[in-house]
Amino acid sequence: MPMAFLRSLLLLTIIALGICSSALATPPSSIRSLGDALTAFESKDYRRAATLARMAGDRATGLERESARYLEGISLFKVNDFDAAANALRFAAASADAFVAGQAGVTLGSVEIERKHFDSAGYAFRKAAGFLTGAESQRAHSYAARCFDGAGLTILADGERVAAGEPPSTPTPILTPAITPATSPAPTMTEPRLRVGPESKPKVAEIAPIRYSIQVGAYSTVEKAHAAAEKLAARCTELHIDAPRVIARENSDGSTLHIVQLGDFENRGVASKMLLKFPRSAFKIEVYLAGIDQSE
Whole-number pLDDT of residue 123: 92
Q: Which domains does the chain have, with CATH numbers?
A: 4-179 (1.25.40.10), 212-293 (no CATH)
Whole-number pLDDT of residue 129: 92
Q: What is the mean pLDDT of each run of 10 residues along the chain (296 residues)?
A: 50 42 43 76 89 86 86 91 91 87 90 89 92 88 88 86 80 44 38 36 42 86 89 87 85 80 85 80 74 59
Is 52 within 8 Å of 37 (Cβ atoms)?
A: yes
d(CA 290, CA 295): 13
d(CA 169, CA 162): 10
Q: How far is CA 295 from CA 26, 107, 161, 175, 197, in A?
A: 66, 40, 24, 39, 42
Whole-number pLDDT of residue 47: 92
Whole-number pLDDT of residue 20: 39
Whole-number pLDDT of residue 8: 52
Whole-number pLDDT of residue 295: 60
